[in-house]
Amino acid sequence: MFKAHWTVLYLSLYLAFISAAQDEDLIVCPPKVGCLRGTTMNGYQNGPFEAFMGIPYAEPPLGALRFQSPKIKARWFNTYDATKFKSDCIQKNYLISNPTVFGEEDCLYLNIYRPKVRLRLLPVMIYIHGGSFFSGSAGPLNTGPEYIMDTESVILVTMSYRLGALGFMSTGDYNMPGNFGLKDQNLVFQWVRHNIDSFDGDNDKVTIFGHDAGAVATHMHLINPYSKNLFHRVISMSGTANVPFAITKDPLAQARKTAHLCEIPNANTLSTAELTEALRYVNAKTLINAADWDGQPLTLYRPVVEPPSIDAIIPADPEKLMKSIYFQKRPWLLGTVPQEGAVRAISIVENPVLRRAFNKRFDYFFEELLEWPNRFTPKQGRDKTEIVVSQYFDGTITDRSFKHPLYEAIYEYWKIPGGKFPHFMYSFNYKGPFSYASVYTEANVTGKYGVVHGDDLIYLFRSPTTFLDFHKSSVEAKVIEKFVKYIVNFATFGYTVDVPPIGFCGTDVLDSRPHGICDYHEFVNNDNIPEGFEVVVKSDFPTAKVKLWQELLE
């Protein structure tokens, strides 16, 4: 027994030594950055892959650099330890029960994952996490690379970017122009453009993809006139730039209210320069906690329309940019799930305290959730709300916040000249044993609401802090393999592969079809076949409800 014990101990130490030695040898030196030491991680179904985590792409946005565009990280001359991921950006996740502040303000880091064997330059996928612009994580415990790296065919980049007030507060002028989180993302695109070849990545085959606010961001970068040549394909999962929660309506009033809640004297009379300087040195946790306004389940700090500048991400209203020549023609894959609105509705429906508070001020909160445009008077907003309630209540948030903007985004994409790059769409409607419905509330509601906002992510990224691993021979493991290949193949080729073919689309098709939508792929359960699921071609869409929203928003 004693000998066996020492044999096991020796073997463990030997394997640890070999692993450490491999890490010592895993060094990449991008000329404009400096040397980085990486490590290895185990895949889900396949063997290990290489990981370089916690790479600083910008100077820490602290002190005088708070509320400024990110500054590229200066080159270093030692070997940087990139074997561990960094903390998430400081945040308070209002999408979960009993949220608390966590994370760091010094958070502008990215992670790079690549296969161990690379016989050529590989396509690059840059992921922008979601979280309604106030939360989210790029770390491997929440955005795990294992499923994508099992394909052994792409390089994956994930990033942290500034969130909440630190990422999106604005005075509406040059003193605090806003969109700092989007500018962080844009700087990552530039970093990849200049450095990814050192990791055997092809900087002429870059796909940006994101979910929720990350999807909104991908579309914003697609219509941004200053982002040309930084990416070549786009995947937007459950979000487009024209969703109602995409733009702050009155950023200066919001900044002043934040200053007041942070106990800054004379918050309502300070000049915007004075206001910016005062907010620049407020404790970060105090600033994040200041977002608790009336307990509203809303995205308070959002992108804004910026004053013109060379690094502006949104120089005009997104709906105007969607109709302009700046709407870049790129292969574009859009994704959706049946119950998108669950991300906001479940917490209200399942929490008696929130439900009672919502019902007491129903008219106010419901109008806030509907987010009527600024051009409507209060009376117009009330009248339109009554129409919505009379037509339908169930599904309102899904159609207003996601389905109608999705349809409009597709339609405007085809109206803009500039080439025939196609768009593709999928609907993820596979119902498995786990669901984000249980994340949005403390109640056990998995399966109660169908396939909800975020459920497609369960099959794209491993998230060990949220969900248990699927058995490697399960139906869910097969869904992972199929869905990941669907996404990765689009990033590789610019079109969908190994699924039923769909027809070419255009505004003529959109106008002539009864459902007013192009063919798309749907991932669905099918217990009658050995795989337990299938990918089918569909074309139906809630067009009648889309037209209702078009009429209401005119």
- Return the percent helix, strand and coil in the chain, to nearest 5: 35, 15, 50
Mean pLDDT of the chain: 86
Most confident of 198-212, 289-303, 410-424: 198-212
What are the Cα distances from residue 277, in Å, to 107, 175, 271, 311, 381? 21, 9, 10, 21, 36
What single letter denotes the amino acid at residue 303?
P
For residue 298, the model assigns a pLDDT of: 56
For residue 191, the model assigns a pLDDT of: 98
pLDDT tens-digit readout, 136-170: 999 999 999 999 999 999 999 999 999 999 999 99
For residue 20, the model assigns a pLDDT of: 41
Percent of the chain with pLDDT over 90: 63
219: left (phi over 0), alpha (psi -120 to 50) or beta: alpha
- Radius of gyration for the chain, computed over Cα atoms and rounded to the nearest angstrom: 24
Of 15 and 422, which is predicted with more confidence?
422
pLDDT tens-digit readout, 446-484: 777 889 999 999 999 999 999 999 999 999 999 999 999
Chain-centre distance for alpha carbon 344? 16
For residue 94, the model assigns a pLDDT of: 79
Residue 22 has pLDDT above 80, yes or no: no
Contact predicate 76/82, CB 8 Å:
no
Task: For the sheet with 27-28, list strands across it.
Answer: 27-28, 35-37, 79-81
Neighbours of 323 (CB within 10 A): 15
Q: For 23-553, give the CATH class.
A: alpha beta
Secondary structure of residue 516 in the 3-state scheme: coil
For residue 434, the model assigns a pLDDT of: 94
For residue 366, the model assigns a pLDDT of: 59
Residue 2 has pLDDT above 50, yes or no: no
For residue 185, the model assigns a pLDDT of: 98
Alpha carbon distance 86, 74 (integer Å) = 18
Alpha carbon distance 162, 213 (integer Å) = 12
For residue 1, the model assigns a pLDDT of: 38
Residue 41 has pLDDT above 50, yes or no: yes
Model confidence band, residue 3 (pLDDT cutoffs 50, 70, 90): very low
For residue 220, the model assigns a pLDDT of: 96
- Label residues 299-318 b or e (16+ Cβ within 10 Å = b): bbbbbbbbeeeeebbbbbeb
DSSP at 394: T
For residue 251, the model assigns a pLDDT of: 94
Model confidence band, residue 292 (pLDDT cutoffs 50, 70, 90): low
Contact predicate 373/549, CB 8 Å:
no
Tokens at residue 35, please? 């040397």
pLDDT tens-digit readout, 358-403: 666 556 665 666 565 666 676 665 665 555 554 544 445 656 567 7
Model confidence band, residue 548 (pLDDT cutoffs 50, 70, 90): low
Of 296 and 249, which is predicted with more confidence?
249
